[in-house]
Amino acid sequence: MSLDLTLHHFPLDPASRQVRLALGEKRLAFAEEQVRYWERPASLVKMNPSGLTPVLCVGTSRDPLVLCEGRAILDYLEETHPEPPLLGRDPAERAEARRLMQWFDRKFDYEVGGFILHEKMEKRLLGLGAPDLASLRQGREALRGHMLYIDSLLADRDWLAGSRLSLADFAAAAHLSVIDYFGDVPWADFQAVKTWYMKLKSRPAFRPLLADRWPGLAPAPHYDDLDF
């Protein structure tokens, strides 16, 4: 593999984590640049006008192909490096994986991340003061609903979108893993979800995520424990 890849990402960004998991699962080596996106660095905005991570640069020339936004990067990787397939083998299977990606990237992100990560992470990064307890409670209550939904999927399936590991699992795990960094996932009450997450956590692609640490933000003690 002579392709040169550089990922610009923030370690605790769920969208960035999905791309890191896909790159790992496809065994694509990549250089990485960590980006403090909340400071809106000019170098990031120049690559991606939305100012968001992740950004994947392909090629080392002075004029690399710049890929922006998580879904676009994941689809690009799937099209250009189809093995192993992470979106399913027929259109119906892929539609189910994509439905769930949307679920986690929009609904989960809005109802859970928008409260828990905003209160515990973004406010800290931006220097906006202490977490609001009512907002945290709202995020935690929504999280229980999502855990129940994941649990219901796993009652009939080995993986979230069906019989095969897919980007739906990575979407869910990316969002959950950042919440877990802050210790807010009620694993004990959802054994099937915990078992599914343990399987993901022990994959080689997951290891770099478990090694993530951000200055001033300490992870929960069990965060990188494979047998939590």
Residues in the site for a copy of itself, rule: CB under 8 A?
A: 48-50, 65, 67-73, 75-76, 79-80, 91-92, 94-96, 98-99, 101-103, 107, 149
Nearer to a copy of itself by Cβ, of 21 and 55: the residue is: 55
Nearer to a copy of itself by Cβ, of 33 and 110: the residue is: 110
Q: Where are the alpha helices (DSSP H) in 2-132?
A: 14-25, 42-47, 70-80, 91-102, 114-117, 123-126
Nearer to a copy of itself by Cβ, of 21 and 58: the residue is: 58
Distance in Å, CB of 110 to a copy of itself, minimum: 9
Nearer to a copy of itself by Cβ, of 60 and 202: the residue is: 60
| Distance set, CA 116 to CA 85, 89, 113, 149, 221 (Å) | 32, 35, 5, 19, 18
Distance in Å, CB of 188 to a copy of itself, minimum: 25
**What order of strands is seen across the sheet that includes strand 65-68?**
31-34, 5-9, 55-58, 65-68
In 3-state terms, what secondary structure has residue 136? helix
Nearer to a copy of itself by Cβ, of 157 and 203: the residue is: 157
Phi and psi torsions of 161, nearest 5°? -95, 0
Distance in Å, CB of 157 to a copy of itself, minimum: 14
Nearest alpha-carbon partner for 12 in 172, 137, 175, 170? 175
Distance in Å, CB of 99 to a copy of itself, minimum: 5
Q: Residue 79 burial by CB count (10 A; 0-12/13-18/19+): exposed, middle or buried? A: exposed
The secondary structure of residue 87, as a DSSP letter, is: S
Distance in Å, CB of 32 to a copy of itself, minimum: 19
The secondary structure of residue 69, as a DSSP letter, is: S
Distance in Å, CB of 24 to a copy of itself, minimum: 20
Nearer to a copy of itself by Cβ, of 47 and 165: the residue is: 47
Phi and psi torsions of 68, nearest 5°? -120, 150
